[in-house]
Amino acid sequence: MFTTLAATLSLASAPLLPAEPSPAVFALAIERNSLTAINYSDDPQWLVFESGSSTIMRAIAPHSSLAWQFPASCLSDVEISLLRPQRAGWMQSERCSLNEHSELYFSADARAYRAQAGGLEALDCLHVPVIRPESRPNGGQPPHIGDKPLPPV
């Protein structure tokens, strides 16, 4: 599926961002058979494409864009996330399905947004279930050991 993506590098000339102020440092324009990624930041950003067990990463240089052309059904099961450098390492955004959005924006803290009439709206792209201690035996506490003596050393 990813082999049909052909990339061409160009400078970001027409901004996709809504009117200022905007927290976005990265934008994606998703159309039926094309994807355009624009990096507005001073740092390189990495797009992480995931489909099934396949993962592809693509770097986008600072203040540049990358465009892909592909068959219309190519994005049906592709999820994307943004990986960006931070002082203490890397920060990755939540994964977002590409076939559910026409424009995605990512902030400096790697949060995903979509455009609305009044500005940007934060997205919760992928819900990860959390195991709560109250749903486990003993409320998630370790088993009681009792007053047994320690083994000799």
Domain ranges for the chain, please list them.
25-119
How much is the pLDDT for 37? 92
Which tens digit of pLDDT belongs to each residue from 8-62?
Answer: 333 333 444 444 445 678 998 888 888 899 999 898 999 999 988 899 999 999 9
How much is the pLDDT for 45? 92
How much is the pLDDT for 86? 79
Task: Please report, for residues 40, 103, 106, 135, the alpha-carbon distance to residue 12 in angstroms, rounded to integers and kept in the order given.
Answer: 8, 16, 16, 50
Which tens digit of pLDDT belongs to each residue from 117-135?
Answer: 777 777 776 544 444 555 5
How much is the pLDDT for 12? 35
How much is the pLDDT for 60? 94
Give residue 145's pLDDT band: very low, low, confident or very high (50, 70, 90).
low
Handedness of CA 69, 95, 93, 98 (dihedral sign): positive
Rounded to the nearest integer, the mean pLDDT of the chain is: 74
Q: Is the pLDDT of residue 66 over 80?
A: yes
Could you give phi then psi for residue 149, rounded to 5 degrees? -70, 155
pTM score, whole prediction: 0.64
How much is the CA Rg of the chain, to the nearest whole Å?
A: 21
- 134 φ/ψ sector (left φ>0, alpha ψ -120 to 50, else beta): alpha
User: Cα–Cα distance between 42 and 119 in angstroms, integer?
Assistant: 23
CATH topology of domain 25-119: Immunoglobulin-like (2.60.40)
Q: What is the distance, to the nearest Å, from the Cα of residue 69 to the centroid of all Cα atoms in its chain?
A: 20
Interval 94-104 mean pLDDT: 82
User: Cα–Cα distance between 134 and 31 in angstroms, integer?
Assistant: 44
User: Cα–Cα distance between 19 and 41 in angstroms, integer?
Assistant: 17
